[in-house]
Structure 1
Amino acid sequence: MTMPSLLLVPGAWHKPEHLQLLIDEMPDIDVHTVALTSCGDDPKSLGDMYSDAAAIKAAVEAIDGPVVVVAHSYGGVPVTQALVGTANVESIVYLAAFQLDAGDSLLSSVGGNSAPWWQLHRTEGVGDYMTVAGPVGVFYGDVDPAIAEKAAAELGYQSYAAITQELTAVAWQTIPSTYIICEADNAIPPFAQELFAQRARKTLRLNASHSPFLSQPSTLAQLLRDELTSAEDPRPSLNGGQRKAA
C-alpha cells in the first residue's frame, strides 16, 4: 500500500520555510506545503481566512492520491473551512491548532479579546494587520536559540481579518481527525487545546512548545508517520485513544 501524501499548513505569521526541519526528517514521504495568503511580507497584499481556505483546497486538489493534512495553530481554521467535500483527504492532524465549529472565528474562540502579544496595526490605506511581541518566548520556548531567532526574523505580517471571520463549513465532522496537544505551549494554553481536542477522534501529546517542528522535528515526524500509516485503517470512535510521545 502506498503511503498517503502529507500537506503541511503553517499557522499565523509563519511560512512554509518554517517547516523545513520537519520536512528534512521525512525524505521518503511525499510532503507538500501551502503558503497562506493571510501571511506575507507586504501588509497591503494580505488575504483573509477564506482566501487561505481556497489556497488549501487548491493544494489538496493538486495532489494525485490520498493525503493527510496537518494544520498548525491558526492553520486549523482555514483547513476546517477548506476540506469539506474533498475526495482525497484521509485525515486531518490539528497540531496545537484551532479546531473550531461552524459560526466560530479564531477571535471568538479566545473570548473576543486580543492576546496581549498580538500587536494590531491600523494604517490608512492598508488593511488591519498584526505583528507579534516577543515571538521567541511565545512560539519557540524550547527551540535552540539560534534556530528560534532565525525563525522569528522570518515571520511575516498577519491579516487581522483572518482571525475575525467565521467558519461556514466544518471538515472534521466528516473527516477523521487527530489532535496533538503541545503541553509546554505559551501561545495556545494547553487547557484550551484540551477543549479543542474533544472534537478530534484521537488525541496525542508532546512535551513541547508551540513549534515542535523546530524543537522536536524527529519526534513530530514519527508521530506523523504513524498517522500516515494508520490513515486508511478503520476509523476509531470519537476520542478513541490517547498516547504521549516520548
Structure 2
Amino acid sequence: MAGAVLVHGLYHRAEHFALVAAGLRAAGVHVVVPELHRGSLGADTAAVQAAVDELDEPPVVLGHSYGGSVVTGLQGAAHLVYVAAFVPDAGESAAGTGGATPRLRNAIVSAPDDSTFIRRDLAADVFYADCPEDRAAWAVDLLRVQAPGCGRGVPERQSWKHTPSTYVVCAQDRAIEPELQRVLARRCTSVREWPTGHSPFVVRPELVVELTLELLRGGATTYRSDGGHSTPHRP
C-alpha cells in the first residue's frame, strides 16, 4: 500500500492531523505530515514536494483549506484530496476566491508585523464548532500565528488538471463558505459531502481515515457519508 501525505491549513500544525495519522498507521499506511509555515506558498509547496519525492510510490495527498493551494502545486501524487480546500486555477490564489466567511474574518487579528492570528475566544466557533468541548480545546491550543502572504500565493502548476482528485465539501463549515466549496469541487474528478464543520480531521477522523484507505486501495468513490450519491466531475 502506498503512503499518504497530509497537508494542514493556515494557523494549523501537523499535530492537528494526529488522530487521522494514528488511524492510518494502525492500518499499515506510511504517513507523512509536513509542517508548513515556511513563509510563502512556494516554500510550503517545496516542503511537501520533498516529502512526496521521498516516498517509494506516488501517495494519496490530502490538503485542508489553504493546504489545497499547496497540493495543487505538487507533482507525483497518485490522488489528490481537497477537504474544505482551495483548488486554484491558473493565476488564482486562495485569498482571491473571497471564500472566507464573516465569522472567520471577524476572528482574524493582525499583528504589527503583518502576521495574523485567530482570536482564542472565537477559534472553536469558527474551526471546531461541531467538536466535543475537550477536543475543540485541544485543537485551539495547537493553533499558531500565521506569517503574512501565504494565502495570496499562486501555485506554479494546477495538478488537479492531470491527477485524479476528490473534493470533500464540509456542509457545516463556518470558515470557508460551503457554496464556494461546491463550486471549487467541480474542478475535481469526484465529490462527496460530509455533514461536518471545517475540521473533520478533529471531530470525525474516522471519515478521513476511511476515505484515504479507500483511495489507497484504488476505490475512488462518489458516495457521501450520509448514503447519498454525488456526481463525478471532470475539469
Q: Which moved more, 1:106-115 or 1:20-29?
A: 106-115
- In 2, the alpha carbon distance for the partners of 1:111 and 1:179 equals 16
Of 104, 116, 137, the match for 2:106: 116
How much has 1:32 moved relative to structure 2? 1.1
Of 193, 197, 204, the match for 1:209: 197
How much has 1:228 moved relative to structure 2? 1.3
Corresponding residue SS for 1:230: coil
Where does residue 34 of structure 1 map in the other structure?
34
Where does residue 153 of structure 1 map in the other structure?
141
| C-alpha contact 1:37 1:55 (8 A) present in aligned 2 | no
How much has 1:168 moved relative to structure 2? 2.5
Where does residue 225 of structure 2 map in the other structure?
245
Superposed, 1:102-113 pairs within 5 Å as 102-110=90-98
How much has 1:111 moved relative to structure 2? 7.0
- In 2, the alpha carbon distance for the partners of 1:71 and 1:220 equals 11
Of 32, 51, 62, the match for 1:59: 51
Superposed, 1:1-246 pairs within 5 Å as 3-26=1-24, 27-28=26-27, 29-38=29-38, 47-81=39-73, 83-84=74-75, 86=76, 89-110=77-98, 115-123=105-113, 128-133=114-119, 134-230=122-218, 242-246=222-226
- In 2, the alpha carbon distance for the partners of 1:219 and 1:76 equals 18
- Corresponding residue pairs, total: 220
Letter in 1 for 2:40: D
How much has 1:197 moved relative to structure 2? 0.1
- In 2, the alpha carbon distance for the partners of 1:111 and 1:141 equals 18
- In 2, the alpha carbon distance for the partners of 1:53 and 1:7 equals 12
| C-alpha contact 1:120 1:160 (8 A) present in aligned 2 | no
Letter in 1 for 2:62: V
CA deviations 1:140-160 (Å, max 9, x no partner) are: 011111111111111111122
User: Unaligned stretches of 5+ in structure 2?
Assistant: 227-235
Runs of 4+ more than 3 Å apart: 111-114
- In 2, the alpha carbon distance for the partners of 1:153 and 1:172 equals 33
Corresponding residue SS for 2:115: strand
| C-alpha contact 2:60 2:78 (8 A) present in aligned 1 | yes
Aligned Cα root-mean-square deviation (Å): 1.9
Sequence identity, in percent?
A: 31
CA deviations 1:57-104 (Å, max 9, x no partner) are: 1110111112110001100112112x13x3xx1110001100111111
